[in-house]
């Protein structure tokens, strides 16, 4: 018997304890090493989930939502995690509002009140409708009828101001209706957000209605006139207000002006019957103005036809120029370098038609429209433009997925969030 009461000598007993402790310590290290990959993966998934949620909504997720998203990411279902994030009202109240707001004004500012254009975009995304229809459907989203809001009006924005000021969730309190039931337009004359009051105020007021075409091209096909400039198109539809010798030099027209107007003017003719009327002296910003449309049988005193008088502004600049007689539009850009925009000849074999609705379809069914949505969503979620081959490949994938989904734009937001969750 040893001093410590065991049959082992003191030194041997100590060694045995150390050996047993070593085995215990070793086993603990082994268990820890087996657990670490899961723990690290889960921690990484949580970080990615939080980043994804913040990119999509601008706010942090709750603990429960974070855990659900992290488990989906860890399980290889990051796309579902993105859709979980988009269940947060902030996706609609903040992200989508700021996404669409710049399209509603010439300054392209996000700091504008909620309006019928923005609300309609939010509603179309929320309800997962075909996003192309924002340029041609008889569609409008208004505040929930159960709310105590001023009614939708054709001559003010009070309905949407109060909807926003009341802090109501746009995820829960937007109802789909038709423009024709609210603003007096014939259904055949509605063209999605292009005939919203907000768009009319921004792009039909004053001017010659070319602004509506230019900003629609910028906002929804991601091309300004400089990018589609083509001096090879025939100039036969360029209106009288465009001088053929600016500053006395015809070369300026032939080498510059014709490149934009030869394609733009035949397309902008689709808006020939629209105007935005307001009292410039008492209401210079058009806050109380209204969209007007010359229906069948209407005669404008300046043109003697249904065409709005604004189409004759500065007619003396070049009197032999084109005089707009109706709202017939033709897409001269289906030939030449702008074929790259990917026009859908199956949707419209002739490349022409009458009115804003069919012209909106021409734009919305182009490849450029689909690519533009993918790029805008990528920029919104990833906080940068596509910069390299991997990014461009991602845009191509997003376009393919957008088409396959039936143009449900939430899919593009989800795809972007998954791609950039590791940034």
Q: Could you count the other beta carbons within 10 Å of the beta carbon of residue 74?
A: 18
**How far lies 56's CA from each of 47, 93, 106, 413, in Å?**
14, 11, 26, 8
- List 205's β-bridge partners, or say none: 276
Q: Alpha helix locations (H) across 58-128?
A: 63-74, 78-85, 90, 97-100, 116-126
Q: Quick one: average pLDDT of 243-247? A: 94
More confident residue, 24 or 411: 411
pLDDT over threshold 80, residue 268: yes
CA pair distance 353, 194, nearest whole angstrom: 17
Would you list the domain boundaries of the chain?
10-85, 207-365, 369-420
For position 312, what pLDDT does the model report? 97
* Residue listed under structure tokens 């996000």: 110
- Find how far residue 30's CA is from the centre of its chain: 52
pLDDT over threshold 80, residue 375: yes
For position 423, what pLDDT does the model report? 84
Q: Could you count the other beta carbons within 10 Å of the beta carbon of residue 105?
A: 19
CA pair distance 287, 201, nearest whole angstrom: 8
CA angle 61, 379, 120 (to 5 degrees): 75
Q: What is the pLDDT of residues 97-127, one digit of tens each?
A: 999 999 999 999 999 999 999 999 999 999 9
Question: 39 and 67 in contact (C-beta within 8 Å)?
Answer: no
For position 30, what pLDDT does the model report? 41
Question: 154 and 184 in contact (C-beta within 8 Å)?
Answer: yes
Helix count and strand count (H, E) for the chain: 15, 6
Q: What is the pLDDT of residues 6-59, one digit of tens each?
A: 444 444 444 443 334 444 444 444 444 444 444 445 669 999 999 999 999 999
* Residue listed under structure tokens 């723990």: 39
Nearest to 342 by CA among 374, 364, 375: 364
For position 19, what pLDDT does the model report? 39
Task: Quote the percentage of the chain above a pLDDT of 70.
Answer: 90
Q: Quick one: average pLDDT of 262-287? A: 97
Q: Quick one: average pLDDT of 259-276? A: 98
What is the pTM assigned to this prediction? 0.89
For position 41, what pLDDT does the model report? 53
Q: What is the pLDDT of residues 328-371, one digit of tens each?
A: 999 999 999 999 999 999 999 999 999 999 999 999 999 999 99
Tokens coding 218: 């910028």
pLDDT range class, residue 76, cuts 50, 70, 90: very high
For position 21, what pLDDT does the model report? 45
pLDDT averaged over every residue in the chain? 92
CA pair distance 129, 328, nearest whole angstrom: 29
**Burial level of 157, CB count in 10 A (0-12/13-18/19+)?**
buried
DSSP 272-298: TTEEEE--TTT-TT-TT-EEEE--TT-
């Amino acid at each position: 018997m040893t001093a410590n009461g065991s049959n082992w000598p003191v030194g041997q007993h100590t060694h045995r304890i150390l050996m047993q402790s070593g085995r215990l310590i070793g086993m603990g290290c082994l268990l820890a090493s087996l657990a670490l990959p899961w723990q690290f993966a889960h921690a990484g998934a949580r970080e990615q989930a939080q980043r994804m949620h913040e990119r999509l909504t601008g706010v942090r997720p709750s603990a429960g939502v974070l855990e659900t998203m992290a488990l989906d990411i860890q399980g290889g279902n990051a796309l579902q995690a993105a859709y979980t994030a988009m269940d947060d009202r902030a996706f609609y109240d903040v992200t989508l509002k700021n996404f669409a707001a710049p399209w509603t004004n010439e300054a392209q500012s996000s700091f504008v009140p909620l309006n019928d254009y923005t609300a309609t975009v939010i509603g179309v995304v929320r309800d997962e409708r075909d996003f192309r229809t924002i340029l041609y459907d008889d569609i409008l989203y208004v505040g929930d009828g159960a709310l105590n809001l001023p009614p939708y009006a054709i001559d003010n924005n009070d309905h949407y101001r109060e909807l926003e000021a009341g802090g109501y969730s746009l995820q829960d309190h937007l109802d789909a209706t038709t423009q024709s039931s609210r603003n007096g337009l014939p259904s055949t004359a509605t063209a999605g957000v292009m005939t919203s009051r907000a768009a009319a105020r921004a792009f039909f007021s004053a001017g010659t209605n070319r602004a509506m075409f230019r900003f629609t091209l910028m906002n929804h096909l991601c091309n300004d006139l400089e990018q589609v400039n083509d001096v090879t198109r025939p100039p036969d539809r360029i209106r009288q207000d465009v001088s053929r010798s600016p500053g006395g030099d015809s070369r300026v027209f032939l080498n510059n002006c014709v490149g934009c107007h030869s394609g733009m003017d035949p397309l902008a003719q689709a808006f020939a019957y629209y105007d935005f009327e307001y009292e410039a002296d008492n209401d210079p910003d058009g806050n109380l103005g209204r969209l007007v449309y010359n229906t069948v049988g209407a005669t404008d005193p300046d043109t003697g036809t249904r065409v709005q008088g604004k189409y004759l502004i500065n007619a003396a600049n070049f009197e032999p120029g084109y005089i707009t007689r109706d709202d017939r539009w033709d897409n001269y850009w289906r030939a030449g370098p702008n074929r790259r925009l990917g026009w859908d000849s199956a949707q419209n074999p002739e490349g022409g038609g009458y009115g804003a609705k069919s012209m909106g379809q021409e734009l919305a069914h182009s490849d450029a429209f689909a690519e533009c949505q993918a790029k805008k969503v990528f920029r919104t979620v990833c906080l940068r433009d596509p910069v390299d081959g991997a990014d461009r490949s991602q845009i191509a994938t997003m376009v393919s997925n957008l088409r396959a989904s039936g143009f449900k734009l939430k899919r593009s937001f989800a795809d972007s969030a998954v791609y950039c969750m590791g940034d």
